[in-house]
Structure 1
Amino acid sequence: MSATPSVSSVNETEIAKFEAMAAEWWDTEGKFKPLHMLNPTRLDYIVNQISAEFGRDTKAESPFAGLRLLDIGCGGGLLAEPMARLGAEVVGADAASGNIPVAQIHAKQSGLEIDYRHATAEALAEDGERFDVVLNMEVVEHVEDPQAFLTTCQSLLKPGGLMICSTLNRNPKSYLMAIIGAEHVMRWLPKGTHDWNKFITPDELFSMLSEAGLEPVDRKGFQFNPLLWNWRISEADLSVNYVTASVKPSVAEH
């Protein structure tokens, strides 16, 4: 198992892109419209995976009470807020400093207690932070060194902890949909938001997760239906957006 890297995997160019869009996080018709559209589907997967892994009843008043959760690359808090509403103790961290006050203000307006920090995964690891759950959503394709980043995220998990990681597949279809379609045709995102060369195939991500010391246990696709104009979870179609779940072994391997 690789040691936790002491250098940051932050890519300054990638951070600058999101700094420029920080104030628009909660505008459902703005630059983050695609994420708002995808968010219910992401949350469905996240809630189901956490509930199954920790034996929680989603019908309970605060089903995630007692769980400490990190949303790394939290942006404006689109995932952190619903996790807090479900009872989790949430830390939201982002390397883009401009995102943090946006998230803090919105959480206060929503009456939620969320610990937002301008921090990297590496800084949290060096501070000895540990979590039951790490949400690592649409981040790994933006970092400098994906393997080092995932290894750091593994170190942030308690034994038996769960990491949910989503990203974009790398193939001709994802280039057509995520680059040409989303950035150039639909103009959902500013041009240059994504670098197709940094997209990661599901097999590559599973290999990286295993190399980081995690046990991959699930992967699903997030499939967009242009006729119904909505997203759904797909068992088979991982061709563009997809999500994985992996677990840190309860007993450390030597």
Structure 2
Amino acid sequence: MITTIDPGEVAKFEAMAAEWWDPSGKFKPLHQMNPCRLHYITSQISAEFDRNLTQPLPFAGLRILDIGCGGGLLSEPMARLGAEVVGADAAPRNIPVAQLHAEQSGLTIDYRNTTAEALAEAGEQFDVVLNMEVVEHVADPLAYLTACQTLLKPGGLMICSTLNRNAKSFAMAIVGAEWVMRWLPKGTHDWAKFITPDELYELIRRAGLDPVDRKGMVFNPVSWNWSLSARDLSVNYVTASVKR
């Protein structure tokens, strides 16, 4: 079976698996970014599927795939909102960490050590695919995004986030996060694999999806929090696309 998995990238996250739920550990940046990511995700899903977030279990009846789920930082909130969640990750050690945390949290989530390509080949279908901070780690972004498109039902929604490729992103995501702050081990990111917003939009279109929105996720070092921006996509950014 064809796969876009990059073994070297999987190995990096395997080595950090036990720290997924430590907000002060190697995934500290993700924990800090997570409220911002969740705000975008829930807003897009509720708008696309006409769901009221003030109601209990607003995502009931939706089947959501969290591809590259890691320890479940996004899978768990989706399950709490009522969705049927499949969390998939190519790194085997991430899955038991995610399963144990979900069990301790009283949540039922279908975690699997698998790939987007394997799920697509098996004929799996989802209303939503969450594809967060994964595309910059795969060997073939177009083939990977095409697999994600195959996994969506007609009318389905994909949320995809990644890192822009420019001098600022190198300074912040690699020099700042890896070398200076040491939030992440050196070598976690490969700047050459970063993707500009226009490049990602083109890849999404070539994969068979229709991009409908994109926003920057901006870190404020003074307030030490993240926010969405319609204009600043210079480092982290997120997109929404639909399968017509």
Asked if Structure 1 and Structure 2 have the same fold, meaning a TM-score greater than 0.5 normalized by the shorter chain, the answer is yes
2:108 alignment partner, one of 106, 113, 124: 113
Q: Cα deviation per residue 1:124-178 (whole Å; 9 max; x = unaligned)?
A: 0011000000000000000000000000000000000000000000000000000
Q: Cα deviation per residue 1:50-90 (whole Å; 9 max; x = unaligned)?
A: 00000000011010000000000000000000000000000
Q: Cα deviation per residue 1:94-134 (whole Å; 9 max; x = unaligned)?
A: 00000000000000000000000000001000110000000
Query: Aligned partners of 2:143 and 2:121: how far apart in 1?
Result: 14
2:88 alignment partner, one of 87, 93, 98: 93
Letter in 2 for 1:29: S
SS at match of 1:161: strand
Letter in 2 for 1:115: D
SS at match of 1:221: strand
1:180 aligns with 2:170: no
Q: CA deviation at 1:24?
A: 0.2
Query: Aligned partners of 1:126 and 1:7: how far apart in 2?
Result: 10
Letter in 1 for 2:166: N
2:18 alignment partner, one of 18, 23, 31: 23
Query: Aligned partners of 1:74 and 1:142: how far apart in 2?
Result: 13
1:63 aligns with 2:44: no
1:43 aligns with 2:42: no
1:54 alignment partner, one of 49, 53, 59: 49
Query: Aligned partners of 2:147 and 2:40: how far apart in 1?
Result: 23
Q: Which runs of 4+ in 1 moved over 3 A?
A: none
Please give the TM-score of this superposition, normalised by the length of structure 2.
1.00
Query: Aligned partners of 1:224 and 1:60: how far apart in 2?
Result: 30
1:127 alignment partner, one of 113, 122, 132: 122
Query: Aligned partners of 1:153 and 1:121: how far apart in 2?
Result: 6
Partner in structure 2 of residue 7 of structure 1 = 2
Partner in structure 1 of residue 213 of structure 2 = 218
Partner in structure 2 of residue 252 of structure 1 = none
Letter in 1 for 2:181: M
- In the TM superposition, 1:158-169 aligns within 5 A as 158-169=153-164
Query: Aligned partners of 1:210 and 1:126: how far apart in 2?
Result: 21
Query: Aligned partners of 1:95 and 1:14: how far apart in 2?
Result: 10
Letter in 2 for 1:7: I
Gaps of 5+ in 2: none
Q: CA deviation at 1:242?
A: 0.1
Q: RMSD of the alignment, in Å? A: 0.4
Letter in 2 for 1:20: A
Q: CA deviation at 1:11?
A: 0.2
Partner in structure 2 of residue 191 of structure 1 = 186
1:144 aligns with 2:143: no
Query: Aligned partners of 2:229 and 2:218: how far apart in 1?
Result: 6
Gaps of 5+ in 1: 1-5, 250-254
1:153 aligns with 2:145: no
- In the TM superposition, 1:231-242 aligns within 5 A as 231-242=226-237
How many corresponding residue pairs?
A: 244
Letter in 2 for 1:107: A
Please give the TM-score of this superposition, normalised by the length of structure 1.
0.96
Q: CA deviation at 1:192?
A: 0.1
